Structure formats: structure tokens, C-alpha cells
């Protein structure tokens, strides 16, 4: 065991980490918002981080050969990696790409037709937004944000300071809750259940087995495949006469006859990185993921055959009857997690609520600190929402469902399922509509809820909780002290929030948000407001009957799957696959899952674990190759002002 001094972080690693956080924020923000073709930061293993980390490791080795004083230990390298990981998520969908546009879009897109200035503005507290809610129509600060500032005009930094500080308090409380939750879950998920955490495999290869890994021929063969494809596709964007390899197809165009034309949006994205990561997963889980996804499409066909109404889940690309099944599955999964870890959780809360002097100080946080920190941050977050104008009871429901149900299942999907993207198929509001109409909440609550949906609850990509848990798994492998890891997370998150906020204000006012990534500025920040207009006007659909029935179906189905998994080790269907079946994650990755399953299943059956281990570097090489090309083409596009190729993780 290394000594406590050896476990401590060095000043140079923190300084390098600070520099890398700033670099990551710049690369991710420019690539995603200005280039738009390369979404390089919102995955739970961000391509930007892998690319920059590889060049950091390579440069470190070259300098170490010149002088041993330049050598960085695995702990120092992984400290920098963890800081970059949280920085990438925060500067992308984790918070900043959703926060700033949500605070200004409602003003810019108000007009005489939608009358948003009448419906929403009177219910917005002045400290929540950078414009005056008393002013009708578009404010100059919103016009210059979307259309760009005129020559000589200054960016209105001061107007943004108060709302960013106000929302920064809520962000801090949510992140604190996630950090405390990670500390509570760590021992159960990492030590007791021994979840594999596939997303940490590649960075740990660079650090622990880097020399052998980087000299492995199969690894470089894996790198060569996506490198060739994306180089070819990138050159095609510049010179169209060069051939292009398509990495996306739409299956719906082949199903034009009834009832098959009722199938929801079903694309094929060919991602070498996704195939590489899914190769690391158990075959039973792989089978469950693609099987349950295709089962959702079969349900569409059956519904069309019987003439059932094909209503969509509000704000999600799935059917209502599937979205509520998924919601029921989430609830049962969280209950099953508590049941499986009950001895651990009982010990955690015993430490927290008694005067026991043997509290575990070897954790990220002591159990007493973690439990009370979680409770305190939840209460304060609920209080913040109430102060913003949300109904107190619904504020508690919103925060508890978001943090204690949705975020936990999403974190499990990466810790056990190795999914590169976290996305769900329902909001807390959708569960509320099982018992009451959302119109009953009133205009004030629905207005605040529109902000919360856009910023926190609708799009879960870049979920910071998974970054905290991955950091804890990395710590167990490299021996960094837990308390040092807290400093890494706090410093990385704080610096990333400030840096990303400055960049995400400078870019729109400089380029004009209308000419930047449409999802960020003209999609996500508007959808919740559009969805709530009918309820504010006293209208809206009633989901209690249909939603309640399929919510019950989801509960019963998942309960059966959980029990069968507990009783029979050979049972092939994993409940996590059912819970994720309707998500955008599987819409994007179902085909790579199928390919990985098709490769790994016969390989294990006929060649055994040894051959599986032998080919592992090839598949990790595909991950590294695709992610590295994403970074390379981001830099090429920025430097040469040329279009970048499409990368298959939209």
C-alpha cells in the first residue's frame, strides 16, 4: 500500500489539470457549437478527453526520456484525466449547453403568434434571467445573442452575472448531491457487486499498460480502421470527388406498407468506438439491449395492427405506451438496487445517524458527511426551486425523481452497461401526470418547470454522476487518495463552470446563435415551453389511463425480469436492457450492440476467454482511433475553416 504522502496530489498535476480543463472547454465548445458536425464532449467517455489525454501521455513519455524529473506517476495522470472528464461534461450537455440558451431563448422566440411574453414572462423571477420580464417582446440582449453583436458593441457580461450566479447555486447543489451519492454507492457497486465500469478501460490502458498496449499490433490495426474511414470521409467533405463511406442509414425507408410503416424512427449508425466498447460487455447484457430495442419496434407493429392510437411520449422520440413502461422499469430497478445493497446501505445510514466513532474515513466522503450532504443538498435544491416559483410539493417530487431515480439508473447504465450515452425516455413531470393533469400545477410552476426541463431533466447526456463514479473506479486502480479526488472534482467542476460560461457567452455574441448548433439554441431550450403552453391555457392531454396501465406493465415486467435474474444465472434477459429500450441511447447504438454481440458470442463459445482477451486491444484500438480522429478533425476544421466529417454519435 502506498503511503499517504505518495497518494497526495502534486502541484504540477493540478497545474497541468487546470491547463487541460481550459483546453477541453475550448475544444468541446467550439467543436459542438460552431463546427456542429462533431459532438465531441457529451458522451460519458468524451472523445475530446481521450484525444487530449493520449497526446498528454505521449508528450509526458517523450519528456521523461529526456529527464526523469518530468515523469508523471499514474496517479498524477489520472488526476488530470478526471479533471478533463468533468470539464468536458460541464462544457457540453452536462450543464452549460443547456443552461445559457434556456435563459434567453424564451425571450428571443416570443412573438405575436405564440404570446410567450404574456404566458410566461409574468411568472419569471427577475433574478433567473438576463432580461427584464416586465418588458414585452424581444430584448436587445436576446437579439444580439442570436444574431451577433454589431461591430464595436460589447458583450453584456454584467447582465448575465446575476442569473448565472443564481443558477450556479442550484448546479452546485445538484453536483453536491451527485458527489455524496457517488460516495454512498461506491463500495456497493465497485467492491460488493464488482461492476466492470467499461468506460475506464481505455484511459487505464494508457497509464498502466501503456508501453505494451501502445506497441500492440492488434491495437494499431484497430486504430487504422476508423482512421482510414474518417480520413476518407473528411477529405470527401473538402473534395467531393473523393469517395465517401456512409456511416448512417434509415431503416424506415424500407418499411412503407402497413403495419410496418408504423415503426418509430429506426436508424443505423456505424460507430467503431461503440462496437469496441460493447465488446467489453457480457453477452447476456448485449443480447438484452438489442432484443428489447427491437421489441419496442415490434410493439409499434402490433399496435398498428389493432388500430391503437400511436401517441408520442412528450419531448422524446418514442411512443407513449413504451415511455411509461420504461418509467415503471426505472422505479423497480432502483428498488432492486436498494434490495441488493441493503446490508451496505443499512451500514451507511447507521454510521450517519448514530454517534459511532468508527465512521469509514477511507471513502470519498465519510458516510456521515455523504448522507447528511445528500439530504442537505436535496432540501436546499427543493428550497431553491420553491423560491424560483415552483410548487413546493412538486419541487420535492421533481428533485427526488431526477436525482434518486433517473440519475441512479443512468449511472448504472454506464457502470454496468458501458453505454457511451445517458438518455432517458421520461421526465418527473410525466410521472406526475399519472395522478393529475399538469394544468393543475398552474402557470407559475409550469414556467419554472420549463426552465428545469431544458436545463436538467429532459436531456441526461453528460451526466456528471457517471464521471464521479468512474473517477472512484480509477482511484481504486491507481491508488489516489479519496480526499485528493474530492479536490480534483471540486477544482475541475468549478473551473470548468466558469470557463465554459465565458466561452458559451462569447461564442453566440460573436458568431450569432442562429448560425450555430440548432439543437442547443433552437431546439432543447424551446421544447418544454412549447409543451406547456396548452396546460397554461387550461388544455392538454390526460395520460392517467393509458400511462397508468403501461406504467403497471413496466413494473410487472421488470419485477419478473429481476426475480428471474436472481433465481437463474443463465436467464438471458437483463432488466437494464428493458429500461433503456426506448432511449435515444439505444436508437443510436442498437446496431453497434448487435454487431458486438454477433462477434463476441461465437468467439467465446468456440475459442474461449483467451482469444477474447487476445482481441481486446483491437477493439480498444477502434475506440481510440475514432475518438482521436474526432479531435483531429475538430482542429483541422477550426484551423483550415473546412467542414468536418460526420461522426456517428449524434
- Dist CA 306 CA 298 (whole Å): 13
Mean pLDDT, all residues of the chain:
92
Q: Which residues pair with 267 in a beta bridge?
A: 250
- Within its chain, how far is the Cα of 275 from the centroid? 19
Nearest to 470 by CA among 481, 485, 492: 485
572 touches 284 (CB < 8 A): yes
pLDDT greater than 80 at residue 22 = yes
Considering only residues 644 and 464, tell me which one the structure prediction assigns the higher pLDDT: 464
Indicate the pLDDT class of residue 4, thresholds 50, 70 and 90.
very low
Nearest to 136 by CA among 117, 152, 119, 155: 117
pLDDT digits (tens, 9 = 90+) for 588-640: 999 999 999 999 999 999 988 999 999 999 999 999 899 999 989 988 988 88
Q: Average pLDDT, stretch 193-202?
A: 91
Q: How far apart are alpha carbons 453 and 427 in whole angstroms?
A: 8
CA distance 6 to 507: 42
Whether 6 has a pLDDT exceeding 80, the answer reads: no
Please name which of 180, 563, 589, 578 lies closest in space to residue 407, comparing C-alpha atoms: 180
Residue 110 CB-density burial (10 A; 0-12 exposed, 13-18 middle, 19+ buried): buried
Does residue 334 surpass a pLDDT of 60? yes
pLDDT at position 210 over 50 = no
| List of E strands, 194-287 | 248-250, 267-269
Mean pLDDT of all residues in 404-433: 94
**From CA 543, how far away is CA 312, in angstroms rounded?**
11
pLDDT 10s digits, 128-149: 999 999 988 899 999 999 999 8
Higher pLDDT, 92 or 650: 92
Residue with cell 406498407: 257
User: Which CA distances in Å does 437 have to 204, 527, 538?
Assistant: 49, 19, 10
- Cα separation, 93 vs 454, whole angstroms: 11
Three-class SS of residue 312?
A: strand
Residue predicted with more confidence, 649 or 182: 182
Considering only CA atoms, give the Rg of the chain: 24
Task: Tell me if 303 sits within 8 A of 319, measured CB to CB.
Answer: yes
**C-alpha cell recorded at residue 156:** 453584456
Break the chain into its structural domains and give their ranges.
14-640
Mean of pLDDT values over 301-327? 92
pLDDT tens, position by position, 446-477:
999 999 999 999 999 999 999 999 999 998 88
Give the count of beta carbons closer than 10 Å to the beta carbon of residue 345.
Answer: 18
Rounded average pLDDT over 300-325: 92
Whether 8 has a pLDDT exceeding 80, the answer reads: no
Provide the pLDDT confidence category of residue 1 given band limits of 50, 70 and 90. Answer: very low
**Quick one: average pLDDT of 238-243?**
92
How much is the average pLDDT of 140-160?
91
Q: What are the residues whose beta carbons fall under 8 Å from the beta carbon of 6, sequence distance 6 or more?
A: 75, 479
**Mean per-residue pLDDT, 66-70:** 76
DSSP code, position 417: T
The C-alpha atoms of residue 114 and residue 532 are separated, in whole angstroms, by 12
**Cα-Cα-Cα-Cα dihedral of 237, 242, 245, 248, to 10°?**
30
**CA–CA distance from 590 to each of 156, 274, 506, 597 (Å)?**
44, 10, 37, 11
Work out the average pLDDT over 22-39. 92
Identify any residues that bridge with 269 across adjacent strands, giving them in sequence order. Answer: 248
Phi-psi sector, 583: left (phi>0), alpha (psi -120 to 50), beta: beta
Using DSSP's 3-state secondary structure scheme, residue 319 falls into strand
Write out pLDDT tens, residues 101-128: 999 999 999 998 999 999 999 999 999 9
Q: What is the share, in percent, of the chain residues with pLDDT greater than 70?
A: 97
Q: Is the pLDDT of residue 184 over 70?
A: yes
Please determine, for residue 575, whether its predicted confidence score (pLDDT) is greater than 50: yes
Tell me if residue 510 falls in helix, strand or coil: helix
Residue 458 confidence (pLDDT): 94
**How many angstroms separate the CA atoms of 206 and 200, rounded?**
11
Cell 426552465 appears where? Answer: 451
Predicted pLDDT of residue 359: 55
Instruction: Quote the cell numbers at residue 17.
Output: 489539470
| Cβ neighbours of 346 (radius 10 Å) | 10
Using the 8-state DSSP alphabet, how is residue 641 labeled? T
Rounded to an integer, the average pLDDT of 78-106 is: 96
* pLDDT tops 70 at residue 360: no
For the segment 62-74, the average pLDDT, to the nearest whole number, is 79
**Model confidence at 280: pLDDT above 80:** yes
The dihedral through the CA atoms of 311, 314, 318, 320 has a sign that is negative
Which of 155-159, 251-255, 635-639 comes out lowest in average pLDDT?
635-639
Question: What pLDDT, on the 0 to 100 scale, is given for residue 141?
Answer: 95
State pLDDT tens for residues 503-560. Answer: 999 999 999 999 999 999 999 999 999 999 999 988 877 888 999 999 999 999 999 9
Q: Are 237 and 644 in contact (CB under 8 A)?
A: yes
Q: Which of 284, 331, 323, 318 is nearest to 556 (CA)?
A: 331
CA-wise closest residue to 147 among 508, 480, 416: 508
Of 39, 78, 43, nearest to 57 by C-alpha is: 78
- Sign of the torsion angle spanned by Cα atoms 507, 94, 50, 281: negative
Question: Is the pLDDT higher at 2 or at 501?
Answer: 501
pTM of the model: 0.94
CA nearest neighbour of 558 among 539, 582, 576: 576
The residues facing 250 across adjacent strands are: 267
CB 429 within 8 A of CB 453: yes
Count the alpha carbons within 13 Å of 501 in the hemisphere toward its beta carbon.
19
Q: Write out the three cell numbers for 419.
A: 453505454
Q: Which residue has the cell 428545469?
A: 452
Q: Positive or negative CA dihedral for 200, 206, 207, 212?
A: positive
pLDDT score for 7? 54
Amino acid at each position: 500500500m502506498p503511503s499517504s504522502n505518495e497518494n497526495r496530489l502534486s502541484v504540477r498535476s493540478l497545474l497541468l489539470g487546470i491547463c487541460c480543463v481550459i483546453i477541453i472547454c475550448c475544444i468541446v465548445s467550439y467543436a459542438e457549437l460552431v463546427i456542429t458536425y462533431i459532438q465531441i464532449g457529451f458522451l460519458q467517455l468524451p472523445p475530446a478527453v481521450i484525444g487530449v489525454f493520449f497526446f498528454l501521455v505521449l508528450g509526458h513519455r517523450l519528456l521523461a526520456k529526456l529527464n526523469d524529473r518530468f515523469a508523471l506517476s499514474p496517479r498524477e495522470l489520472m488526476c488530470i484525466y478526471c479533471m478533463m472528464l468533468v470539464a468536458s461534461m460541464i462544457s457540453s450537455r452536462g450543464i452549460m449547453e443547456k443552461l445559457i440558451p434556456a435563459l434567453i431563448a424564451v425571450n428571443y422566440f416570443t412573438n405575436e403568434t405564440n404570446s410567450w411574453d404574456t404566458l410566461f414572462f409574468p411568472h419569471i423571477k427577475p433574478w433567473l434571467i438576463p432580461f427584464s420580464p416586465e418588458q414585452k417582446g424581444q430584448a436587445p440582449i436576446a437579439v444580439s445573442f442570436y444574431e451577433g453583436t454589431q461591430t464595436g458593441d460589447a458583450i453584456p457580461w454584467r447582465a448575465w452575472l446575476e442569473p448565472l450566479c443564481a443558477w450556479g447555486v442550484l448546479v452546485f447543489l445538484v453536483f453536491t448531491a451527485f458527489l455524496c451519492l457517488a460516495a454512498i454507492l461506491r463500495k456497493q457497486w465497485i467492491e460488493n457487486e464488482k461492476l466492470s465500469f467499461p468506460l475506464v478501460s481505455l484511459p487505464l490502458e494508457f497509464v498502466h499498460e501503456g508501453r505494451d498496449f501502445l506497441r500492440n499490433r492488434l491495437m494499431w490495426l484497430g486504430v487504422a480502421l476508423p482512421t482510414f474511414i474518417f480520413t476518407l470521409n473528411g477529405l470527401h467533405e473538402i473534395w467531393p470527388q473523393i469517395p465517401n463511406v456512409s456511416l448512417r442509414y434509415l431503416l424506415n425507408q424500407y418499411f412503407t406498407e402497413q403495419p410496418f410503416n408504423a415503426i418509430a424512427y429506426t436508424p443505423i449508425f456505424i460507430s467503431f468506438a461503440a462496437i469496441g466498447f460493447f465488446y467489453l460487455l457480457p453477452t447476456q447484457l448485449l443480447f438484452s439491449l438489442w432484443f428489447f430495442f427491437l421489441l419496442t419496434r415490434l410493439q409499434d407493429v402490433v399496435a398498428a395492427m389493432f388500430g391503437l392510437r400511436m401517441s408520442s411520449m412528450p419531448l422524446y422520440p418514442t411512443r407513449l405506451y413504451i415511455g411509461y413502461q420504461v418509467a415503471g422499469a426505472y422505479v423497480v430497478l432502483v428498488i432492486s438496487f436498494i434490495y441488493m445493497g441493503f446490508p451496505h446501505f443499512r451500514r451507511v445510514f447507521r454510521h450517519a445517524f448514530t454517534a459511532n466513532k468508527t465512521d469509514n474515513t477511507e471513502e470519498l466522503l465519510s458516510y456521515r458527511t455523504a448522507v447528511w450532504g445528500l439530504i442537505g443538498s436535496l432540501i436546499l435544491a427543493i428550497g431553491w426551486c420553491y423560491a424560483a416559483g415552483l410548487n413546493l410539493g412538486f419541487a420535492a417530487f421533481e428533485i427526488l425523481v431526477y436525482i434518486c431515480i433517473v440519475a441512479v439508473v443512468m449511472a448504472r447504465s454506464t457502470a454496468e452497461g458501458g453505454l457511451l450515452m445517458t438518455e432517458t425516455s421520461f421526465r418527473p413531470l410525466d410521472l406526475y401526470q399519472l395522478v393529475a393533469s399538469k394544468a393543475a400545477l398552474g402557470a407559475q410552476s409550469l414556467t419554472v418547470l420549463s426552465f428545469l426541463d431544458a436545463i436538467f431533466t429532459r436531456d441526461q447526456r453528460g451526466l456528471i454522476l457517471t464521471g464521479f463514479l468512474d473517477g472512484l473506479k480509477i482511484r481504486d486502480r491507481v491508488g489516489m487518495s479519496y480526499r485528493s479526488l474530492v479536490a480534483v472534482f471540486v477544482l475541475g467542476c468549478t473551473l470548468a463552470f466558469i470557463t465554459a460560461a465565458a466561452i458559451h457567452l462569447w461564442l453566440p455574441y460573436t458568431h450569432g446563435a442562429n448560425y450555430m448548433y440548432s439543437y442547443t439554441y433552437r431546439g432543447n431550450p424551446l421544447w418544454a415551453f412549447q409543451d406547456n403552453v396548452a396546460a397554461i391555457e387550461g388544455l392538454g392531454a390526460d395520460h392517467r389511463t393509458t400511462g397508468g396501465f403501461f406504467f403497471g406493465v413496466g413494473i410487472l415486467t421488470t419485477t419478473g425480469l429481476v426475480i428471474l435474474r436472481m433465481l437463474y444465472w443463465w436467464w438471458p434477459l437483463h432488466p437494464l436492457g428493458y429500461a433503456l429500450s426506448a432511449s435515444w441511447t439505444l436508437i443510436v447504438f442498437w446496431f453497434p450492440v448487435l454487431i458486438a454481440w454477433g462477434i463476441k458470442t461465437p468467439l467465446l463459445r468456440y475459442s474461449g476467454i483467451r482469444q477474447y482477451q487476445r482481441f481486446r486491444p483491437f477493439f480498444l484500438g477502434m475506440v481510440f482511433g475514432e475518438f482521436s480522429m474526432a479531435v483531429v478533425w475538430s482542429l483541422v476544421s477550426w484551423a483550415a475553416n473546412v467542414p468536418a466529417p460526420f461522426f456517428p454519435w449524434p
